[in-house]
Structure 1
């Protein structure tokens, strides 16, 4: 069985080269384009399930495999394996508040997806390690919807790191200007998540104003929904797929948000 078949019959694999980088991408569905950027450890089953929801909702989904082993479950061993990989990879900026080199590749993929699918523009969903990439990819003018789910990079060390977005100053200025025009950004986080601290969302509010919408799910000890204080992955591992549950409400809002921006 091919890797594409393991991910799902609705996805086909292709290599996308740009500059010095080439990554495998899985494409499925039809309709406006949405890039889904996986979290650590990689394209695990939870990320793939989220992508399938988007396919079912009428989108062309592009799933780049940036690191890790596709389809492998998100076990502790896989998390450790992928973390080691990204720690030494030069295409990812981990600590400095700078735009990661891989963003150039993501922008090229977004532009290609828009050329193929058309419509009002492209949506990008980033998670955890790639959460900030969903915003950075909006340096590509065709991106009109960015979903930042628990953006965890740069590493939140000290107040400056906790508030950082992982963007060069000029790139942040470009995105701020776009937020005054056609770009809209949705952010998701659990309130007790140390990996995605509240200061990061404060920066987004200050930079993007009314173009930024935040969903902050109560994960404090003893919260009414029984969410673990260690909850992190809103759309995948920590998702409770039951109507009315706060994580399901957040997922539903993501789907509505994408529809508002990509089906105008």
Structure 2
């Protein structure tokens, strides 16, 4: 598939659009597919055509994708100016703690409730979750919901301005660590080697906190799509993915899809 033109708008009309109210807050959620549920959380500045493409890959892997609209304009590739406006608005939102180390964003409570509802609706062994960039760490916090059994952290970029910080409360982190051991679960994570938003110090901090339960994979910068408008290698399964057989980013995508299928679909 060729790269999307800058003026392309994805109508997202192959998704069911739901207005989902949980914990007293309503958000739009795009739903598609069948089988166990996977929560796909978009990177900054929102549900771009690249994020939607990844969601369709999840759908086509035999899973039901739930893609909540958390910020930005859905279906577009905004220019740098609009992206910065979205980032600024999101950073000051009470739902997100963009700069706080050892603190979880309040929006993860809503996302946990979404995971519980999705599991009740779709069944299976549990729910998968992938966060990207600004939402990268959210899949870890979501493990406080018992149904979440397949968390993926793609280029987790919070907290901003603290490369070695973790965007999760210390008490929640301890509960997640205990759950990983008790339920024999793992956390998958991906980043590019030279990513200036998600540096090696962050993966080291996760590894120190979670031990062997954290499976962090680092891709060479040379494997990032050179045609991406963001020149810093960053978005592993979206903007910087090269959709060609044998590419490291495609291999990462396929690993993630297989991780979801293995954890969520019953072998019986």
Q: Establish whether TM, by shorter chain, passes 0.5.
A: yes
Unmatched 5+ residue regions in structure 2? 1-9
Superposition RMSD in Å: 1.6
44-53 vs 179-188, which moves further: 179-188
Of 17, 23, 27 in structure 2, the residue corresponding to residue 19 of structure 1 is 23
The residue that corresponds to 1:168 in the other structure is 169
Q: CA deviation at 1:201?
A: 0.9
Q: Secondary structure at the match of 2:206?
A: helix
Q: Secondary structure at the match of 2:251?
A: helix
The residue that corresponds to 1:128 in the other structure is 133
**Do the aligned partners of residues 184 and 74 (structure 1) sit closer, same or farther apart at CA in structure 2, a change above 3 Å counting?**
farther
Unmatched 5+ residue regions in structure 1? none
Q: CA deviation at 1:211?
A: 1.9
* 8 Å Cα contact 1:191/1:217 also seen in 2: yes
Q: Residues 138-165 of structure 1: CA distance to partner in whole angstroms, max 9, x if unpaired?
A: 111110011100000111x3xxx22222
Q: CA deviation at 1:74?
A: 4.1
1:199-218 to 2 correspondences below 5 Å: 199-218=201-220
The residue that corresponds to 2:4 in the other structure is none
Is 1:117 the counterpart of 2:118? The answer is no
Q: How far apart, CA to CA, are the structure 2 residues paired with 1:259 and 1:78?
A: 36
* 8 Å Cα contact 1:139/1:175 also seen in 2: yes
Q: CA deviation at 1:72?
A: 1.2
Of 244, 251, 263 in structure 1, the residue corresponding to residue 253 of structure 2 is 251
Of 67, 72, 75 in structure 1, the residue corresponding to residue 76 of structure 2 is 72
* 8 Å Cα contact 1:68/1:81 also seen in 2: no
Is 1:178 the counterpart of 2:179? The answer is yes
- Runs (4+) off by over 4 Å: 225-229
